[in-house]
Amino acid sequence: MVAVTLERQQSTRSAYTAEIIIVLLLSLGQSAIFSVVSLTAKLTDGQPLASHTATLNAPLSARPYLDLTYQLLNIFFDLVPVALAWYLLRRDDIRPGRDLGIDFRRPAHDAGWGAALAAGIGIPGLLLVYAAIQLGASAQIVPSALQPYWWAVPVLILSAVQNAVLEEVLVIGYLMTRLRQLELSVPRIIICSAVLRGSYHLYQGFGGFVGNVVMGVVFALFYLRTKRVMPLIVAHSLLDITAFVGYELLPDSWLDWLKYHP
């Protein structure tokens, strides 16, 4: 009987391990691999890392409405892994809405904590990025290169929310739940979650990696304490909306100054 139980537990662990690998390779793990390749290319082309540019929201077509179509399709398909993770958790009788705090039951609480986390992480994060660029450890980050069409700001807001939902549901809600089921220790779970978050930002350089690892540790600790992902989605959305939309709305003279005075 004991042998059968151990065999079932081992089978479950193997299944969860394979599931994690597949889900991540379809989403953020794939992004992490491309980020490593991108950083390697930047470091080996003979130019300083700070001379390179990392564009977060690039145009996908010179034709305005075709570009809009591509942008919306990207946002939609980037959320499919979230649906997959949600389905897999539900299949194991884990309710992501109630059990992981991905719901709207506490809007004031989630909005308040989200805003506080965004402020607490955003300001030090900007200082870290600035320092990394000055030290040559980060590429120049361009939050948006979209043309100033009427739909640019709405698309950037949708993109920010999509990033937040994708990353927080997968990196915090899904991954940390599965790692706990694999009986990893709390420190190892936090490290795995934070390093994954940093790895798919490596295309920005080492500054982006370090900053996102720190953010990952803070977010993981917050989730372990509160068991709610929604404040993290709010915080991440606010950070990205501020970066994307703020950059899009800056006057051209300011953008020129930023390019030559990082």
CA dist., res. 153 & res. 206, Å (int): 29
For residue range 67-122, what is the model confidence (pLDDT) as tens digits? 999 999 999 999 999 999 999 999 999 999 999 999 999 999 999 999 999 999 98
CB-based contact 145:55 (threshold 8 Å): yes
For residue range 177-189, what is the model confidence (pLDDT) as tens digits? 999 999 999 999 9
Which pTM does this prediction carry? 0.92
CA dist., res. 226 & res. 224, Å (int): 6
For residue range 13-60, what is the model confidence (pLDDT) as tens digits? 999 999 999 999 999 999 999 999 999 999 999 899 988 999 999 999
Residue-range definition of the domain harbouring residue 67: 2-260
At residue 208, what is the residue type?
G
Q: So what's the pLDDT on residue 181?
A: 96
Number of domains in the chain: 1
C-alpha dihedral sign at 79, 80, 85, 91: positive
